[in-house]
Structure 1
Amino acid sequence: MPVTKRLEILDLIRELQQQLNLSQKQFAAKVGVSFKTVNRWENEYTVPSRIALKLIEEMLRKMGEPGKSLLSQYFPEAE
């Protein structure tokens, strides 16, 4: 999977939440996971599954222009 380092994942999740103006709870609902799961990602206890990363990638694509920057930064081979 393209995003492999924990800090990269943490940065991606935080940036995406900020750009979409979503709380952890709202972000969790968009990705289809629990609040607890997103909290664990952000506290570096676990990393998103491949399925969750794929959903995040799709979310970035749907954002259009604002998502392109994050997409190219965190999913470079997806371009």
Structure 2
Amino acid sequence: MIKKDKSEILKLFGKNLRKVRESKGFTQEQLANELGLEISQISRIERGVINTSIYTLYQVSTFFDIDVNELFDLSE
């Protein structure tokens, strides 16, 4: 198993979030409003700039009705 560094993991996580969000037909603004977050926070998560909280991860997976593992596909 090849280990990935923090930056790479955050970017892959963000890419997965973007893919799920777009597949469900939501903009960053709509998702932010639904979760009570700033649009800029969604943007920073999707770009891999920040390490989001476990609670935000829970909110996203619950809102989109997905297993959190979908957001952690780090196979790229």
Shorter-chain TM-score tier:
0.5 to 0.7
Give the number of equivalent residue pairs. Answer: 66
What's the % identity of the aligned pairs? 15
Q: Which runs of 5+ in 2 are unaligned?
A: 1-5
Instruction: Tell me the distance in 2 between the aligned counterparts of 1:11 and 1:44.
Output: 8
Supply the RMSD in Å over aligned alpha carbons: 2.4
Pick aligned residue for 2:33 from 29, 33, 43: 29
Q: Which runs of 5+ in 1 are unaligned?
A: 62-66
The runs of at least 4 aligned residues of structure 1 exceeding 4 Å deviation read none
Distance 1:23 1:38, change over 3 A: same
Instruction: Tell me the distance in 2 between the aligned counterparts of 1:16 and 1:31.
Output: 15
More helix by share: 1
Instruction: Tell me the distance in 1 between the aligned counterparts of 2:42 and 2:64.
Output: 17
